[in-house]
Amino acid sequence: MATDILVENDENVKKSSWEAFIKQNVLDFMMQHNLQAITVDDGAGKKGVIKRTAKGDYSVQITSNEIL
* C-alpha 38: how far from chain center: 10
- CATH number for the domain spanning 34: value is 3.30.505
The reply to whether 33 falls in a domain is: yes
The reply to whether 23 falls in a domain is: yes
β-bridge mates for residue 49, sequence order: 39, 61
**54-67 tens-digit pLDDT:** 999 999 999 988 77
Domain hosting 59: range is 11-64
**11-65 tens-digit pLDDT:** 666 666 889 999 999 999 999 999 999 999 998 889 999 999 999 999 999 998 8
In this structure, the strands spanning 37-41 and 58-64 are: unpaired
The reply to whether 3 falls in a domain is: no
Whether 6 contacts 20, CB under 8 Å = no
The reply to whether 46 falls in a domain is: yes
Indicate left, alpha or beta for 46 from its phi (over 0: left) and psi (-120 to 50: alpha).
Answer: beta
* Number of domains observed in the structure of the chain: 1
